[in-house]
Structures are given as structure tokens and as C-alpha cells.
Structure 1
Amino acid sequence: MNITLLSRAMLLVTLMTSFSSAADWYVSPIGSDDAVGAKDSPFASLTKARDRIRAASKDQSHTVWVADGNYVLSEPFLLTGQDSGTQEHRIVYRAMEGATPTFSGGTTLAAWQQEGERWTTTLPEELRDPMPEQLIVGTQAATLAREPDEGLFTMAGVQEEPTSDHLAKQTIQLDPQDFAATLGLLGANELSRVQLLAFHKWDNTRRHLDQIEFDDHAVVTHGRKMKSWNPLDGNSQYRIENFAAALDSPGEWYADVSGKLTYLPRPGEKIENGQAIVPRLKQLVVLRGEPEQPVQYVELRGLRFLHGRWTTPTEGVEPSQAASPIEAAMQIDFAKNVTIRDCEVGHVGIYGVWFRQGCQHCRLERTWVHDTGAGGVRIGETQIRRDQKQRTHHITVDNNILNRGGRIFPCAVGAWIGHSSDNVLSHNEIADYFYTGISVGWRWGYAESLAKRNTITKNHVHHLGYGVLSDMGGIYTLGPSEGTVVRGNIFHDIHAYSYGGWGLYTDEGSSDILFENNLVYRTKTGGFHQHYGKDNIVRNNILAFGMLYQLQATRVEEHRSFVLEKNIIFYDEGELLQGNWDRVKFASSNNCYFDASERPVTFKGKTLKQWQAEGHEQDSIVADPKFADAEHFDFTLAEDSPARKLGFQPFVTEDVGVYGDASWVNKARSTKYLPVRPE
């Protein structure tokens, strides 16, 4: 063969290799699953593209290009181990440039009819068993008719009668006026559908009602026995949902047993623009690998997954911290090197995204998770897996917006890490939840925990609590957590119902955690609270404007509980210290304290000098730290701040929260939230 022929042969091989190294597939709302998946002959579904990739060569990369438009899911989009790519040849499902394809797990209802001030439509038969509990009108979730419309009622008392080892009958006494405004208005055949949502300490109980005792202004429910440390009682708040007479405020809706759905529009809504969608699928995306065949090297990019259903089972939902039994609309098990980027998960009845079992080296980036029945993102499990392949670790959740959650399960968490290690939670916007913003660890006490070496950095966490639950924090930790670092975050506007509502909260057994360079302000019960734990370090933080207290320490133990050094504690109301500070073992030094209301700063009734004589606050001072404008939450330190002389190192806050293009940053910063406490 001469050189020319050889060159041509080599060129042909190169071209063939190049051609076979990547394959493009196309999906369009006007496509067909009988098509070939080419640009001019696209599929109609992700599922068909997945199936064709399964049958294709794995020695090439595959990209599924998804056109703009709306796609209706008949079932969750499922990926298993056989849908994996490789490190060299990845599989990507992505939106076309400029497109925002939407995959809906809901059903669009027939056009509205006008009936006075109300709009009505009819539920199709297939959505009536069971009856729905969520409705999206336009782009906003409507509110299932309830009383009270704002705020909550308070129970008058609860009596519990055991019916078995684990079950009990609860009789709940209501205030006569509250009873008349709710259950006194129930229509015939409504009892089986009406729900009671109870708020007690850090938990919720959701129950159907078994009986109404009209003469005693009481309701009867059956379920699990209440825990002695967190029962329903006369301090528990509640609301009643899903009955016709409660349909009295804009944005509320109700559907009767005949399938007639009635909606009271919000101001400015127009009937011709008010498309109504009822979520139909519980889950929208499922990655279900196996220990020996995980889902690997797959990416979802630029796709929207909306409208996920939740229906309360007949037995109700028992209390569980952080709504821990509740799954996610994007449920991921046994996945490695999977990336979810530039996506959206919203209007769902459960959690948004969960890297649950056997997930390793996965990423969630620049994704908006919103309007969730439970929380935003979960990592790991509540149990310890002995098989290393079944453990979740090295998950990165970076530059996401997680907001407006807990709408069905208020005790849910914005971002939750259980028995899982070496994860990074960074640069996220986490806001508008009724309980904790970030929760790390799942061990009450000092026994084995897998929550090690987690990094929580540069997150903006705010507008939590709204005064409906207690025992909560901007960040809440549990159990031994060696190597875990909480650095450079901002936590603010946190308000509990009764006790709790802290910025940094180290609960039972929290140990060996570093809290550094965090800004905490406008909390109900203080910037830092340790219930009990060991050798946590709280260093170089600004803790400002606690309402009732600034610092709390509770349980007395034999070991050193924490170190408090080089912090600025700045306040204008409430006490400085609350709890057992005279007995808890801790080390404190080089802190700067200042009461802007000009009251004297005292430490459990003692002056700083007296407190230092007892071995505390060595080299600490009481002095104005000289913030630029603390009243408007500008905590920039003056060059001559006395805190600098103590070794306090100023830190920047401008880079906290999401980053990237202006539209993404503005999306986080421009969202308005209601005040978390009455002004």
C-alpha cells in the first residue's frame, strides 16, 4: 500500500472512531416513540431514549437533547444500573440550548367555570381514588381549605388511652370557639376526609378523625402511642384541613366527593390564565441501582420535574423528627458519579431530592428545589449499613436554591445529612422552612455515627420556624462528628414556637465539630446552644441580636463540652447566658461582648471580672466591636475594632449563598419572605 492509500485508510479509521465515540439522540413534545430519535425524527419521551441507549454500544458517549415544551410523565423516569455510562463515555440527558423542558407528574384539569367569586372544575375519575390533596394553579400551589387560615389553634387538653402495646386512642379537647369555627361546620360525609395536623415541639402528627364529640368539643383519633418526651398536650398547636366550610380565603381550594373542585382565586388572577394541575405521580425520577451494578456516570442537566403527589394514608402520619420516613420526588439509590445540574424539582408532596442508599461521588448543582411537602435535599440514611457498598458518602450539594418547604410535613429539614460522611454542602440558599435549615448526624448520644468529615460552608440559611415548632436551629447537629466543619455560613431570622430557635445548635452527643467564621443574627433564643456534646469548637463567629438569650448551655457532663473563643457577641435585648454555665465544663477566652442597649453586661449575674475569677473568659472584653451598621445587619468591622486585638479575624460574607450568572443570584436574593416573628 502506498503512503497516499495508507493515509486515506488511517483517516477513514479516525473518522469512524470519532463518529462512534459519541451518539446524539433527540426528544421533543411533538416527537414519536416510533421515531428513530434523530434530530429530524425525535422521540417523544426520555424513556424511549433511555431504552435505545440500553441497546446501543456502551463504547461511546450518549447525549439526549431535549427540546423545549411540556412532557407528561405516565410513570417516574427510571434509570437502573444497565443505564450507566463509563468514565470515558458518559450518558447525559440535557435541555437544548435556551430550552427549559418540563416533565410533569400531574394532570391538567378542564377549564374553570365561574360561580360567583369562585372558580369550579371537575376532577377526572382516575384522580378521585384517593382524592387529591395538592393543587397547582398557574405557577403557585393552592392551599387545601383549612382553619385557621393564618396561625394555629391551641389544644385545650389531650387524654390518651392505650389500646395495645404500641397503639392508643387520643381524645383531644378543643377550645369551644375553635371547635365551632371548624368541626362545628362539618358537612355530612366529610368526617372521613378531614385531617388534623398537630404541631408538638419539633414534630408533627397528621391524623384523620375517627369521631367528633360535639357536647365535649373534642375529637377522637387512633394511632401510635405518644412518646413521653414529645406528646400531644395542652400546649400543642394544630389546624384542621380539608372541609368545605373552610373554603373562605383567596388561594384556597376544596374538592367534594362528587369530583367538583372549587377554588377561591387570589387577587389579580384571571380565570382564562389559571391553569389547574393536580399532581398524580408520587415520584418523578428514580435512580435505582444495585450494590453490584450501580447507576454510574449519568447526568441530568437543565430539566424541570414538577407536580408530585402526596396523599395521607388512612392511618395518618406519626411524628418523626425531620420527617425522616418521607421519600423524595427524585429518589436515588446505588449511584456513583451521577450529576444533577441546572435542574428544577418543585410542587411535590414529599422531599425534593434524596441520595439515599449506596450513593457515592454524586453532585447536585445549581438546582432549584421548591414548594415541597417535606424538605429539600437528603443525604444518607437513618441506619448504619455494615456493607461499605451500601453506604452513602462523598456527595456534593453546591450552589442550589432550596426554599418554600414543609408545606405538608412542617417538621422537615431544608438539607439533611444522616449516617453519611465526607459530604460538602456549600453555597446554597436555604430558606422558608418551619423547622431546621441544615441537620447533620443521626445519633442521640456518643455511640457509633457515620456523620464524619462533613463540610458545611458558605450557605445562606434564613427564615426558619415562623413560630410553629420548637427545638430547632439554623444548623442542628447530632452525635460524634469528627472532622465536621461549619464555616463561613450566614444564619438569620429563626423563630421558634416556645423553646429553641438557635443559630448553631449542637444537640445530643454532638462532638468534635468546628464552627468558625459564621454570622448569626436575629434568632429567638441565641446564636449558640449546646445541649450536650464533647469538644466542639466555636471560634471567630459573630453572634448577634438574640431575642431571649445569646448563648445557652444545658447538660452538665464530666468532660469538656465546648470551646468558645475569639467570638463577637452583640445584642440589645434578652440575657447573655442561659442554662448551667456555672457547672458546664467549657473553655472560653478572647471573646468580645457588647450590649447595644447600654445595659451592663453580666455573666449569670456576675461582672466580667468576677466571671474571670471563676476561670472563664480569659482575655475577653466588654467593648463595642465597632460594626459598620449593625442596625441594618452590616457587620463589617472597623480597622480599630477592639475585637481585632483579641485575635478575631474579619471574614467576608459577600460570597455566601449562590453564585454564577446574575439571573441565578437574583433569583435567590429577590425572593421575599414573611417575617418569622411578629414585629
Structure 2
Amino acid sequence: IDHIRPLRHREPTTTLRRRGRMWSIVSMLLIALAASTAGTAASGKSVWISPTGSDSGAGTKAAPWRTPQRALEYVASLRGPGGAASPLPSDVTVNVAYGTYLLSSPITLTPESGGDAGGSSVTFKGEDPGAHITFSGAALLEDVVHNADGTVAMRIPASVNCPGRCRRLFRMNPGGNGETVGSYGRELSRTPTLTYRSLSKRTMTVPEGQLANFSQADLAQAEAVVYHSWTSSLSPLQPGSGWDPATNTLSFAYDAVTACDGACFQQYYLQNLQGGSALQPGTFSVIDDSASGKGRYVLYRPFAGETVRPGDFGVGNLTTLLNVNAPAGARVANVAFDALWFQHTASDLSACLPSGCNAQSDADGLAAAIHLTDVSGVTFYNVSVQLTGHYGVWIDSGSSDVAVDFALLRHLGAGGVRIGSSSTAAQPERVSVADSVIQFTGEVEAAGPGVLVQNAAFVNITHNDIGPVSYTAVSSGWTWGYSPTTVRAVRITFNDLHDVFSGKLSDGGCVYTLGAQPGTLVDNNQCWNVHSRGYGGWGYYTDEGSSDIIFTNNLATVTKSAGVHQHYGLNNRFENNILAFPGAWPCDDAPNCDNAGIRSSVAGPGNGKYSLSSFSFVRNIVLLNQPFSAPFFTVAKTGLANDTFASNVYWSTTNKTDLPFGPSQSPVSFAQWQQSGKDVHSVVADPLFGNPAERDFRLAPDSPALKLGFQQIDFSTNGPRRMEERRPRDA
């Protein structure tokens, strides 16, 4: 990988068999998670930990330690009294035996317990090729009462931290109803998505009778989730007076709910409903009855055939499982994690609730299951991160040469991988997310993307399978408008991006960019099934100020909105891309029905920054299949004035002879469009794809696109590769 320095960790020999279907990829990743390499470097030291071990043991396979922290104390002891200033005398492998490790505090690596840059390494390695070796942040629920109405009450011990309202409940073992490990999470009880009448920061009025089936007691500890366009607000109801049926008014505990921006369709739902009648099978509520001395407990309605015994369930107790960080001026270096699972973290929203927890891309969450700060040369290989309260992995400030390879991240409270932060100080550099599967984001905060790149540089996001996701698949950049930026050289390549939004949010796409990003390349990505709620389900979206970005050899197909949308930006290039079948879902936002190949939101001259916009669109193919679709959608008549179009192929399967070209406000014929100097050498003709409805976009030898210089695009290698196909890690 071009921007990653050589890492010293050995090359695994496991084979990951890639299949065309997403679930096949997932199943093979599950095998790869456990089937990792054996052995350690010659002359290296090897120690063991086990859930049945003892920290007073010898740390051998026969007498293992119990906790990972004890192994790290051993690593630190090898350095002697000099601490981090002294070199680690040899590589150390911490062999992690089969089982679940219930953590009472995060595993914390410091410079003393890590490796040396360019020297010895520390590797945590799962030992059993057929087992789930799990570090868990759950606290078990041992006090269980089965109620006459079929619900089960599970008391939360007073010692359990369970920040916030315990928004995550986890099944810790099979329940006898045929479920798999990946479905062990349980959902808070909630209403369907509803429509409100009016909204302020503190109150909401709803239609009369909408909540007639719920009593004051049912909603006593409920929370409101209010959808906006690209995010949502979350607020508890006012304790004791949150619901007034006489006026059909909900009152929030904080003055925090963001007003609708005009494109949210006034939608919301309530969660954490009380009372057994509000619970559907597989859902739960958390009841705080501390005032009466009963404490807190989970009320759960099991699935048919599901058993519930003491210890079968747990609540998230820790927000972070692995914390790798260093004090100012130091680094944790040369550490690897191989064939391990990280699961069951809590959702602590206490810091953001007063402001509504509505930050873009859920960036107001200050936690992740794995959090790296000031590290160098850290690798995650064959790891699984699942059932989290916030992000899965956060590669934070001061970090460099970090690789997340062949990982499985799913059922995430926010997003998958977060790189950088809002700060430009000591931003991460040389980071790779490769050959991984990321799916089911936004299970607590809806705006969680698959991968979020904030302020960072030299980032590779390549050969991943990302989707379904509740918001954008890959988001890059954190600068609004033409402000100075430190983001550069982000490479988003050979990814399979699909099932974006899932009908929850809008104003994003498969790839979303923000601000100038010189050296950034978006190449050979396959984007499909982009179903936003309302407007803004685009394929590739260059938002405010996105500049100096190259988009080549990409596919966007079956999108609700345009395949490409440029809000405004400078010098972006779209070359050799395929934009097919926009308008795949009915438009429910009439002013913004951009069922087109390309959308430009530039307002034109005299509108400040909005008039400073340009892109080139050369050697692309636009394929339409709706009678209302057009090649372009513009916000203003002058919206395409600064843009260059040439050598493109346009075709509509339903409007073959009379496609409108140019601005939406004053469309013209194709001949008139060319006479204006646009789309020189372009044609309106069938590109002769193999079977585009089945995503076969191979071109016939006599395709008019090939005659114009279009290059065939091979999407067969998108998504995770087999391990033997990868270049050696030190390449």
C-alpha cells in the first residue's frame, strides 16, 4: 500500500475465499477471523492468557494468566527500570486462549507495554482457529424474574456503570432459537416511525390520537429520536411530564432538538417504552425505579422458543475495550492484534444529550470500542468488532502507520472506522482500511458512516465491502467551503459500496467529500442501492468546497437521486465513470427530484462561493431508465456554466430520441447543447452493456463508448480479496 511504511509483523497464511454475495464474504471473514497464523518470531517470547487462568500463574500455556493487563505488565517488565526509554529486548506474542474475557476496565497499552518503532513487536494473537475469542465490555445480568405476561425482568447490579440508559442489550450465548453470533444484539422498544405536526427545541406536538395507546407510565422514561436530513436528534422526555395527552404535546428534557430543515418530512419515533404491552419479541426497555428502592432493571420480551437464564444477557458496561495511547511527546509503537473479537460496548451519550447528539457523522461521540491515540505501526488483522455503543475503531490524533486489514465490523452504535477528529493538530497519517466488511451502522445514532475520514492525510480505503449502512458509506474531509485544509491524498479504491441509507437519512451517498482534498482519488468503486429518505440519495457527492478530487472508473447504479452531485467546488474531475438508473425509488421531495445523471447545485454568478465552482465530465456513460429522468439537474440556469463536458455517451431506455440537455430551468436539444460548446464529441446512443439490470456493465466490442476512448472497467475484484492475492505487508 503506497502510503504505509513497512510493518514488521509476519504475513498470515490463512485463505479468505471471496464470494460474490455479501453474506458469503461475511461467512468467510468469520472463518478468517479465527484461522490466523501460528508461531512467533525466532528468539521471541511467548506468554498465554485464558479466562480460566490466574494472574498469579506463570503465564505459560499450562498456567496462563487471566487478564490481558497482566500480560502487558510483563511486557513492561522486560524493559527494565528505564521503562519506555529502554528497548524491548525481543518480540513478544501474547497468545489468547479460547473464551470470553469480561473486562472490568479497558485494555490499556502505553509506550512501556508496546513495541519499539523499527524494533521488537508485541502481538496479541488468538490461538484457536475455530473459536470466537472475545474481549467483552458487558456486565452479566444474573438476577432474572419471569413474569406472567411472558416478559423477563433482569436486574442491573448497582455496581454496573452502564452509562446513559443502557441502550445496548446483548445475548451472551445461543438462546435455543437458531440465531447466530451476529444477531445477538437486542433493540430498545420503540414506536414505528411517526409524523409530528410541529417542533421546537423543547416541545413537539403530534396528531390527535397518534399516541392514544400509550399511557403516561408507558412514556415516563422514553426518548425521542427526531430525524433531520443527514443526522438526527435524540432527547429524553421531560421526567414526569413528558407527555400531555390533553394537548398532544411531548416535552423534552433538554432545549436541544434541532428544528427541521425543510427536508426531514417531520418524522420521529419514541424509544425505551415502558410496560410489557409495549414490547415486541426481541425488544427491551430499561426501567429506573431507584426512587422506590428497586434500582434499575431490563424488561425483555423473548423470541418464541428463546430461553432466558441468569447470565444469558448482559448490558454494555464499558464504552471502550482497547485503549492504545501515549502521553504527550511519546508513542505506542509496533503492536499487532490478530484473530480476536471485540464486542459489547455501552452507549454513553451524556456529553452530547444537552445539545441533542446530532453532530454530522455522529462525530459528537467521544468513544469507540478500539481507540488509538499517538500510536505508530499498529495493525489489526482478522479482528471482529461488533455490537458497539459508538464507533468500532477510532484512529485519533498523533497516529501513523495504522492498518485495519481483513476485519469484520458490524452492528455498530455509530460508524465503523473513524480516522482523525475535528482538530488539525497532529492529524493521523498513513492509515489503511483494507479487505474488510463494515455493515449495520447507526444502531444508536443514525448518522454513522461506514468510514469517516476527518482531518487526516495519506489514507487508503481499499477493497472493502461496506453496506448496509444507515448513512454514507465513505465520508472524507472536514472543512466546509474553501477554508484552508490539511486533508490530502485520500485514496478510496476498489470498494463495494451498497445499501446506503436504508431509507433512514439523506444528503449523502456512497462517497461523500467535504472541502479541498488535493491528491485525493476515488477510483474503481462499485456503488449500488442508494435509498435515502427524501432527497439526497446520490452516488458520489462533492459537498461544500470539495476541490481537486479525481473520480475515475466508478459505477453508481440504482440510486434514488443523481449518480453525481456537485454542491460547489473547484477542479474536480469525473472521467470514465458509469452512472446508471437514477430515480430508482419514487421521489418524495418534489423541488429536489434530481432523477438525473449529474446534479449541480451551483447558484451561478453573483452568489458568492456558490458561483465559484467547476468540474470536468469527460468519457463517462449516463444510462437512464425512467421517463422523467434527464442527464442533468440544476438548481439555477447558470449551474453548468463553468463545467466542461466532452466525449460522453448518454442513453435512455424510455426516451431514446428526445432527451433534454442543459440546465433544468431552460433545457435544450442535444444539438443545441453541442452548439453551445458543451459535450463536444459526445453522443446519444446505446452503450451496449451486457446486462446492466444485473450489474453487468461490460461493453460490447462495438460500443460507441469504446470508440470515444472509454476504457472497460473490471468490477470483479471489488471488495475483500483473498489473502494470497495481497501484496506482502512490507510492500
Q: TM-score, normalised by structure 2?
A: 0.81
CA contact (8 A) 1:59 1:89 kept: yes
Which residue does 1:103 correspond to in 2?
135
577, 594, 614: which one aligns with 1:561: 614
CA contact (8 A) 2:358 2:364 kept: no
Which residue does 1:317 correspond to in 2?
356
291, 296, 301: which one aligns with 2:333: 296
Which residue does 1:141 correspond to in 2?
185
199, 203, 211: which one aligns with 2:231: 203
RMSD: 2.4
> Residues 58-77 of structure 1 correspond to what in structure 2 (within 5 A)?
58-77=88-107
Which residue does 1:336 correspond to in 2?
376
Counterpart-to-counterpart distance in 1, 2:413 and 2:262: 22
628, 633, 636: which one aligns with 1:578: 633
* 1:171 paired to 2:206: no
241, 250, 259: which one aligns with 2:281: 250
SS for the counterpart of 1:305 is: strand
Which residue does 2:85 correspond to in 1?
none
69, 72, 82: which one aligns with 2:112: 82
CA contact (8 A) 1:565 1:591 kept: yes
Partner AA of 2:458 in structure 1: D
Counterpart-to-counterpart distance in 2, 1:517 and 1:233: 32
Counterpart-to-counterpart distance in 2, 1:601 and 1:461: 29
SS for the counterpart of 1:533 is: coil
The Cα offsets for residues 410-444 of structure 1, whole Å up to 9 and x where unpaired, read as: 01211010111111001111112221111000111
* 1:549 paired to 2:596: yes
Which residue does 1:523 correspond to in 2?
559
CA contact (8 A) 2:321 2:342 kept: yes
* 1:631 paired to 2:685: no
Which residue does 2:429 correspond to in 1?
393
Which residue does 1:673 correspond to in 2?
none
* 1:276 paired to 2:313: yes
Deviation at 1:89, TM superposition (A): 1.1
The Cα offsets for residues 224-274 of structure 1, whole Å up to 9 and x where unpaired, read as: 56778x658983311101122463322211233344433223355455799
185, 207, 229: which one aligns with 2:215: 185
- Per mean C-alpha deviation after superposition, the further-off stretch among 40-49 and 206-215 is 206-215
CA contact (8 A) 2:472 2:508 kept: yes
CA contact (8 A) 1:208 1:315 kept: no
Counterpart-to-counterpart distance in 2, 1:232 and 1:328: 32
In structure 2, the CA distance between the partners of 1:252 and 1:558, relative to structure 1 (3 Å rule), is closer
SS for the counterpart of 2:71 is: helix
SS for the counterpart of 2:448 is: coil
Q: Percent identity at matched positions? A: 28
Counterpart-to-counterpart distance in 2, 1:612 and 1:647: 19
In structure 2, the CA distance between the partners of 1:220 and 1:255, relative to structure 1 (3 Å rule), is closer
In structure 2, the CA distance between the partners of 1:543 and 1:266, relative to structure 1 (3 Å rule), is farther
Higher normalized strand content (fraction of residues): 1
In structure 2, the CA distance between the partners of 1:185 and 1:227, relative to structure 1 (3 Å rule), is closer
The Cα offsets for residues 493-551 of structure 1, whole Å up to 9 and x where unpaired, read as: 11112220100000000001000011111111111000000010011011111002321
* 1:218 paired to 2:276: no
Partner AA of 2:381 in structure 1: R
* 1:125 paired to 2:188: no
CA contact (8 A) 2:140 2:311 kept: no
Counterpart-to-counterpart distance in 2, 1:95 and 1:19: 16
> Residues 372-411 of structure 1 correspond to what in structure 2 (within 5 A)?
372-385=412-425, 390-411=426-447
* 1:472 paired to 2:508: yes
Which residue does 1:595 correspond to in 2?
652
Unaligned runs of 5+ residues in structure 2 are 1-39, 80-87, 175-180, 584-594, 605-609, 727-731
> Residues 405-420 of structure 1 correspond to what in structure 2 (within 5 A)?
405-420=441-456
Which residue does 2:14 correspond to in 1?
none
Partner AA of 2:616 in structure 1: V
Counterpart-to-counterpart distance in 1, 2:596 and 2:412: 32
Partner AA of 1:333 in structure 2: T
The Cα offsets for residues 577-606 of structure 1, whole Å up to 9 and x where unpaired, read as: 111364431000111111112453221432
Which residue does 1:40 correspond to in 2?
62
- Per mean C-alpha deviation after superposition, the further-off stretch among 289-298 and 238-247 is 238-247
Unaligned runs of 5+ residues in structure 1 are 1-17, 160-168, 665-679
The Cα offsets for residues 308-367 of structure 1, whole Å up to 9 and x where unpaired, read as: 001443636332111112121111100001111111111111011010110111111111
CA contact (8 A) 1:370 1:405 kept: yes
Which residue does 1:352 correspond to in 2?
392
In structure 2, the CA distance between the partners of 1:19 and 1:640, relative to structure 1 (3 Å rule), is closer
The Cα offsets for residues 54-90 of structure 1, whole Å up to 9 and x where unpaired, read as: 0014121111111111111110000012222122311
Partner AA of 1:539 in structure 2: E
547, 566, 571: which one aligns with 1:511: 547
SS for the counterpart of 1:588 is: strand
Counterpart-to-counterpart distance in 2, 1:322 and 1:95: 32
Counterpart-to-counterpart distance in 1, 2:341 and 2:256: 41
Counterpart-to-counterpart distance in 2, 1:420 and 1:234: 31
Partner AA of 1:569 in structure 2: V
Partner AA of 2:124 in structure 1: Y
Deviation at 1:180, TM superposition (A): 2.1
